[in-house]
Structure 1
Amino acid sequence: MDKLIVSFDRALRVISGVAFASRPSPAARIGQDALTQAERRHSAGLMRVNHVGEICAQALYESQGRFSREESTRKQFEHAAREEEDHLAWTAERLEELGSHPSMLNPLWYGMSYALGVIAAQMGDSHSLGFVVETEKQVESHLASHLQRLPLADQKSRVVVEQMRQDEIDHGAAAQSLGAADMPLPMRQAMRAMSKVMTSVAYYI
């Protein structure tokens, strides 16, 4: 019961946007930007997508860690979730600086991701870790594309996205080192399709 209460409390905090960074935001060392209104809206849309990605990451790591069988796997999920919470806090802060808001569908994104994490965990630790490896590959590619799409003048968003990208690479490598199994092609394709839907919707809502 205690674990259930803790999980519920964590879900409420994540969905409501309460996140605490253990590391200072990379954007803290960058001065104020001079963005046009159009650039500001575009940056906000991209950072809202990234914020949703961190909502999903919290849900995935929470559920996968809870149902892991090996202590080493559980500890890796806990470590990755801690760094992902930094990302959650950084993207929320950047959205506020851009005068925008998080996705209004955050409860939906969290719930869907938590369910996916449970399914992955039930397949066994190696497959659950394989899900992480594939997820992080797709997220790293997605963040790299954002570095191409963000306005050049938006250095604050760019440094945040770059640090997130580096962290995602590390999370994938850590999962691989613990014995991740390769994900079947249909599963990888389904994950890409779901990601495309999420990113398309979250940019606007």
Structure 2
Amino acid sequence: MSSRYHTPFDRFICSADKALRVISGVASASRPTPAVHVDDAHMTDEERKHSAGLIRVDHVGEVMAQGLYNSQARFARSDTLRQQFEKASREEEDHLAWTAQRLKELNSQTSVLAPLFYAGAYALGTVAAKMGDPHSLGFVVETERQVEKHLESHMQRLPANDAKSRAIVEQMRLDEIAHGKAAQDMGAADTPLPVKLAMTAMSKLMTGTTYYI
């Protein structure tokens, strides 16, 4: 059924269901992992631990992306925008599945702090949506800009021989660029400075904690 026939209560139930699946780590990918044909090279314990820390940060970043898109879709004022957020969320769910799988391969786990960051991202997305669709789109543009920069830094920081993680991060980066461009093309407004600062602060808190836990 198209989302334009959903009642507000329907959207609330869908939003709650999506939140539970994201927080519980239940994510299914519609595309195979970009690392499917990449061999896992030998890494030292220290390199493997470092890769796991970076991928764990990326995984929580995708948990936050789900919070953002979930809230923005729920409170979008136009059906067209709601459908765009839902589409982007489905594509971002691939990232969740890819990074979770990679963490298992690295003998590591997702962050125990993921539910807290989902809640914070959901709150920020709600604020953006309540400001109106152009500002909500602008929020996406700014989010994807920050995520792209963040993923580029991880490409530089990953161990040189960790080609599997690198392939995943690179595809994620390309997807984020596409999502930001789509939002820009739909008429995004510039994000107010206080919101940008709040986003940056949350990003720094997330990266500084979830690398370890």
Do they fold alike, i.e. is TM over 0.5?
yes
Aligned residue number for residue 92 of structure 1: 100
1:184 positional shift: 2.4
Deviation string 1:72-131 (CA, Å, 9 cap, x unpaired) is 211110111011000000000000000000000111111111111111100000000000
C-alpha distance in structure 2 between counterparts of 1:11 and 1:185, whole Å: 28
C-alpha distance in structure 2 between counterparts of 1:202 and 1:151, whole Å: 19
Aligned residue number for residue 62 of structure 1: 70
Aligned residue number for residue 14 of structure 2: 6
Deviation string 1:160-184 (CA, Å, 9 cap, x unpaired) is 0000000000000000001000112
2:197 pairs with one of 172, 186, 189:
189
C-alpha distance in structure 2 between counterparts of 1:121 and 1:45, whole Å: 32
1:47-196 pair list within 5 angstroms:
47-196=55-204
1:186 positional shift: 3.4
Deviates more, 1:177-186 or 1:53-62: 177-186
C-alpha distance in structure 1 between counterparts of 2:51 and 2:73, whole Å: 32
The answer on whether the counterparts of 2:134 and 2:189 sit within 8 Å (CA) in structure 1 is: yes
**Uncovered stretches (5+) of structure 1, i.e. residues with no partner:** none
Code of the aligned partner of 2:158:
L
Aligned residue number for residue 200 of structure 1: 208
1:25-44 pair list within 5 angstroms:
25-44=33-52
1:189 positional shift: 2.7
Code of the aligned partner of 2:52:
A
TM-score scaled by length of structure 2: 0.94
C-alpha distance in structure 2 between counterparts of 1:177 and 1:71, whole Å: 17
Number of corresponding residues: 205
Q: Secondary structure at the match of 1:107?
A: helix
Runs of 4 or more, structure 1, over 4 Å off, are: none
**Does structure 1 residue 17 correspond to structure 2 residue 39?**
no
Q: Secondary structure at the match of 1:22?
A: coil
Deviates more, 1:30-39 or 1:162-171: 30-39
Q: 1:115 to 1:98 in 2, by over 3 A?
A: same
C-alpha distance in structure 2 between counterparts of 1:190 and 1:104, whole Å: 22
Code of the aligned partner of 2:54:
L
Q: Report the identity percentage.
A: 65
Code of the aligned partner of 1:204:
Y
Deviation string 1:137-193 (CA, Å, 9 cap, x unpaired) is 000000000000000110000000000000000000000001000112333233212
TM-score scaled by length of structure 1: 0.97
**Uncovered stretches (5+) of structure 2, i.e. residues with no partner:** 1-8
C-alpha distance in structure 2 between counterparts of 1:12 and 1:185, whole Å: 31
C-alpha distance in structure 2 between counterparts of 1:45 and 1:117, whole Å: 26
